Every structure is written in C-alpha cells, then in structure tokens.
Structure 1
Amino acid sequence: MPDPDFAALVQRQLDAYNTRDAAAFAACFSADVRCQRHPDEAPFLQGREALRTFYARERFVHAGLHARLLHRIDLGRRVLDHEHVVGLPGGEREVVAVYEQGADGLIGRVWFIAPA
C-alpha cells in the first residue's frame, strides 16, 4: 500500500534539490542514509552529514541545476523517480532514483540508476 507521507517526503527532497537548499535537502534523509550507484554494492555516500556536504559542495554550486520529474512510481516504502537533470558538468542526463524509507520514516537508502 502506498505511503502518501513518504511520497510527499520524496517530493520535498526533490523540491529542496531544485532550490539548492542543502539543509532542507539533508533533513529528508536518515542520519545513517546509504546512497549507492547501481550496480555497486558499496555506498558512495553514507550518513546525512556526508550527503549534505557532498551536495552542498558538488551539486548545489551549479546555478542552473534542476531535476525535472518525468515519472514517479509509488510502492509504499519505496518510491522510484525517473528524472531529467540539467545544469551539471558533462551536460544533461537522465537517472532513476529508488528511495527506500528508513525505520525513522525518512529516506534511509537511495539507489541511483543511470543509462548503461
């Protein structure tokens, strides 16, 4: 059964991403969040503070940064977003982000899937 509160939280983090608000963005994630690039098993980011620092230094410094939601699948404790991202070095790109709800109700795990 979809969890409307979790889907709303995923939307809040996307909105914070698009306004480049590192504090509001990080507040959507669990203290021990794990971010992975599919198919890697090891996280490339672990912990809310590491996530906030990475996005503040590596993403939110780009004035033209914007992620447009193309499609969302709400599976309750998991939400899948297909996004089109512009404003990063290397040009525009598409990505699928799979957000999993943690025990605290925040985003506890994220998998990023890029085109092969």
Structure 2
Amino acid sequence: MNISSVVIKTPPPVAVGSRMAFVAHFLGRRIAYTYEVRELLEGERFVMSTAEGPFPMETTYTWSDTASGGTRMTLRNQGEPTGFGQLAAPMMARAMRRANLKDLRTLKRLLENAAT
C-alpha cells in the first residue's frame, strides 16, 4: 500500500486509543481507512487496527537491537478480506508485500539520511 496521507484525529501524544486517518493507493484504487492504536510499548512494539475502512486489518511493528548495534524493525499486517477480496487474497498479499518493502526501503533511506 502506498500511503499518501495521514491525519492524526486525536490530540497528541499518540497513545492507546489514538486514531489516525490514512489515505493509500493500492492496486490502482484509493483506499481511506482509520487506524486505532491498540498497544504501545515505546521502542518495542506498536499495534494498530482498523476502526473504519474497507476491510478489517491489524498492523504490528516491533523493534529489537541487532548484534551490530543497529535496530531491526519487523512489520506484520494481518486481516481477513471479505467479498471479492477473498478471491483476490493471494494476489493482494503479494502486492502488499511489494508495497510494504518499497515503503520500508524509503523509510530506511529517510531515517539514515536524517541521521547524517
């Protein structure tokens, strides 16, 4: 999914219960959905799930230290598509993996450039 905008709908700081409205483009379609933060362990784990949108989904980010002194981030999306989405699920999963990898590479590049 290529996220084009995010609007935080609740007052800062981000905490359990915070809501964020996302607009993304996926498989040529515009998708709008709202995530709600379900779990937040600073520097370790961040879980949010859709509160509003086309299909239920949960996204989990985890961070851990690496032996070389860096940080490993893991991203997991899970959800149950309905209707046409059930038929297209295998194709959607591959497309989401590609989009996530592209977004993560961009994020890594931006973070590394900001650190220099």
Please classify the TM superposition score into its range, dividing by the shorter chain length. Answer: 0.3 to 0.5
Q: Which has the larger radius of gyration?
A: 2
The TM-score with structure 2 as length reference comes to 0.37
TM-score, structure 1 length as denominator? 0.37
Higher relative contact order (CA 8 A, sep 6+): 1
